[in-house]
Structure 1
Amino acid sequence: MALTIAGSDSGGGAGLQADLAAFGAFGVHGTTVVTAVTAQHTRGVEGVWPLPPEAVAAQLDAVLGDLPVRAAKTGMLGDPAVVAVVAERCAAGVLPRLVVDPVLVATSGDALAEDPSTLAKAIRDQLLPHAAVVTPNLPEAAVLCDLPVPETLDRPADAIEAMAEAGRQLVAAGATMAVVKGGHLHGPSAPDVVVSDTQVLVLDGPRVPTRNDHGTGCTLSAAIAAGLAQGMPALAAVQRAKAYVAAALESAKDWRLGTGRGPVDHRVWG
């Protein structure tokens, strides 16, 4: 059993809808804590309505007080006060095997936090010390680490060291493992850099040419959480999750759902 703490995507491609689909692909029952309701589709986000911290706290306590959650992941948190609520449960030891997906901006480019830099600081200071895995993309890693986004986006090989440095900083901030995602890089490959206290590992793979990439970050982090819930070591869960996302992108590459950036095929696995 796994838990997602995230916002709702009315288009069904990202957020807790994507998380539940990814959990289900691996046979893991999913539970939810809703942090915000969004009005969005494949072209962008039309509106965001955050839930108050006390509503998030009540959902957390209801789920954790009854159900055997074996891993959890965060997505859109939106507000430092909500981060604090989640961090309190982590400190109490009731949110095991936490995967932190530091969602600051939607795939469309729309902001999902009123002040992304303040939210990033709260995530870095309060959640990373409890994170089994943190999964930022390049812009998120830059904000979390106060680093520039690599200027070599068209030369992925030259960006690897910058990604590794961001990963090292995230591990120094308390995360057990950091996965700095290379989806924003240009070129034929899509490398992710995995950093822990003991290694720096590049997980490479071919880039899938498609406009249907909405929710890939949510899907990856949820797939990692599913693996952790099943007792997999973190690196094995990350490797399986990357393979799953690549397959989901490939399966959905020619879909025409909506007029913007569509979802991946969460049903491709199993």
Structure 2
Amino acid sequence: LGEYRQKLMPHAPSVKHLMKVLDGPAVSSANFYAFDENTMSTDAKTISQVNARCVLWMGCLTPVGGIPEATGRLMRQGRKHLAVEAEKIYDAGLPNFTTIHTEAYVTAFLNRGRIISLFDSLELEKRDPVVMAGSVHRILTMFRKNRARFLHVPNATLGGDSDCTVLLTLNDIARRLTNEKYLYVPQCIVESGRGANRDIAGVHVDDFVSKTGVKVRILPKISTKFANNRLYRNGSLQNYVEDYVRNPLIRSYEAITSIA
């Protein structure tokens, strides 16, 4: 609600108008982000005073390819302040339900148990190449190292700081190939709104196979439903603070670098 809002949305409605809208009975949630010290935490307290019932959706904005570099820098700087800002809100004990849903690496860690148990259920061989984005790669490298060939695929199509398996494209995977003869691909990558067996860019699995000569073995257990319905269950701010920010494993987790 401060200076960063004006920088990112210079033509947006005034804060005064926004606060009047937030006070209305139809408002069920409010989205706002960390940019610096006392940004997200101050906004949370202000909004809670106006509407103690709405859900507070918080985190950081993620830059994608094509946005101005200055805007990207504003978005990125919030990440180093996110933990402290979240703890301030946690300690404030606001009556609102509070969530952190924007950081893929946080979501992956908070759901490491589900990710690990699902991976174990796949019963892959050590040499089997399986596609994943960076955050899941970190989890499996940390807890299931050498149990399969973890193929970290950057979100090159979206660019910027994107790091999400659901948003990978088949072209992203094609860029990452070396000498693979086959690949295990999570179903969530090819069940987008663009049609059956198509990624978010509209590319069909058959087109990928024709182009690369690499056979695709779909992993139906890793579906969009699993990603959306199960992984976000632990997305409360309380879980983020207690099981991520204050977890002694975090230093080791964040030190793991994905091989691109």
TM-score range relative to shorter protein: 0.3 to 0.5
Q: Which has the higher strand share?
A: 1
| TM-score, normalised relative to structure 1 | 0.34
Q: Work out which structure has the larger RCO, using CA pairs closer than 8 Å and 6 or more positions apart in sequence.
A: 1
Q: Which has the higher helix share?
A: 2
Asked which structure has the greater CA Rg, the reply is 2
| TM-score, normalised relative to structure 2 | 0.35
